[in-house]
Amino acid sequence: MGTQISSIRNLGPAYEEACEKAGIHTAEQLRELGADKAYARLLEAGSKPHFIGYYVLVMALQGRPWNDCKGKEKDALRVRFDAIKHSAHDKGRSELEAALDKIGVIPKR
């Protein structure tokens, strides 16, 4: 048995629950996967993509406050987030479906 995910700074019970649904059960598993792979698994398990949720995870795994992400670092994370979202969440969707999902009118898969 490992350490609870909610023991990681910035990650509370809701994040822990989302990780559970994605098959990530411990803080050790989350750290081993890393932010990008873990976030892709969250999306594949049905979590709605949200940039803040992604960079909170990145900051948490670095032991930094969630709001420490700024400027060029935040811009670079946005590029990574968009790539993860496209490969894990938007896979198999048409451009129209992806646009409709972005405004919240497509149900979760």
pTM across the whole model: 0.80
Closest CA to 58 of 44, 38, 42, 43: 38
Superfamily of domain 5-102: 5' to 3' exonuclease, C-terminal subdomain (1.10.150.20)
Q: What is the pLDDT of residue 17?
A: 95
Is pLDDT at 108 greater than 60 in this prediction? no
Query: What are 67's two structure tokens?
Result: 């709001």
Domain locations in the chain?
5-102
Query: What are 94's two structure tokens?
Result: 């048409």
Q: What is the pLDDT of residues 25-38, one digit of tens each?
A: 999 999 999 999 99
Q: What is the pLDDT of residue 46?
A: 87
Q: What is the pLDDT of residues 41-86, one digit of tens each?
A: 999 898 989 999 999 999 999 999 999 989 999 999 999 999 998 8
- In our burial notation (b when 16+ CB lie closer than 10 A, e otherwise), range 47-57 reads bebeeebbbbb
3-state DSSP of the chain? CCCCHHHCCCCCHHHHHHHHHCCCCCHHHHHHHHHHHHHHHHHHCCCCCCHHHHHHHHHHHCCCCHHHCCHHHHHHHHHHHHHHHHHHHCCCCCHHHHHHHHCCCCCCC
